Amino acid sequence: DGGITQSPKYLFRKEGQNVTLSCEQNLNHDAMYWYRQDPGQGLRLIYYSQIVNDFQKGDIAEGYSVSREKKESFPLTVTSAQKNPTAFYLCASSQDGRNTDTQYFGPGTRLTVL
Amino acid sequence: AQSVAQPEDQVNVAEGNPLTVKCTYSVSGNPYLFWYVQYPNRGLQFLLKYITGDNLVKGSYGFEAEFNKSQTSFHLKKPSALVSDSALYFCAVSQYNAGNMLTFGGGTRLMVKP
């Protein structure tokens, strides 16, 4: 899991609540990513950021929001607009966002909606 | 659009036997291909990648993969499987001019039996 930390490891949310997942990296990487993993499916990209104060939507951005105020941090907010948020969320980072770069992943946060 | 297929949900092999986990891809340009492994409730660990050059790529833990452009495949192989290799394996692809947007296959569960 390298120098990428995610917290909390487990998170429980009531319907209608917003929750924020933390992702921090000490690898001095420029690019950071958020993925969602559902059972039997591969990872799907939610948002990514190649530089501070800039980010782009991925394939499934609806119901999620992000910020990139610092190079080391890329928090993800799961809003009440996300209809089915129960999933395993993975954060990743890469050196500078080139498509040949290796992405390195954090340990993940498992979100459950009660 | 780029896509990845992992045609086998599960692969079973006996310890000491060779293993192959299959991956085929579809991209409009030159592909950049990656293999990751995931242990239960953990993030993804990078195994190896193909960018250019030799079609046989060697990676971590004795794994290797062969890039075959004519068959659009990038199968993961290991000469002698270990019980500890049992995990979920993901193939992913990115392409030139697509940013570092990885598209993942659905994953293949490898079961190595003693």
State whether B90 and A43 contact (CB < 8 Å): yes
Shortest alpha-carbon distance between residue A14 and chain B (Å): 22
Token code pair at residue B45: 């660990």
**In the block, which residue shows the tokens 């492994």?**
B37
**In the block, which residue shows the tokens 């969602």?**
A36
Residue B88's pLDDT is 96
State whether A103 and B104 contact (CB < 8 Å): no
On chain B, the residues whose CB falls within 8 A of the CB of A108 are: 41-43
Give the confidence band of A9 by pLDDT, cuts at 50, 70, 90.
Answer: very high
Mean pLDDT, all residues of chain A: 93
The β-bridge partners of A12 are: A112
**In the block, which residue shows the tokens 């420029």?**
A30
Residue B96's pLDDT is 62
Which residues, numbered 22 to 51 in chain A, qualify as contacts with chain B under a Cβ-Cβ cut-off of 8 Å? 31, 33, 40-45, 48, 50
Residue B29's pLDDT is 84
Mean pLDDT throughout A12-18? 90
Mean pLDDT throughout A10-39? 94
Token code pair at residue A16: 């209608």
Residue A1's pLDDT is 47
Shortest alpha-carbon distance between residue A5 and chain B (Å): 10
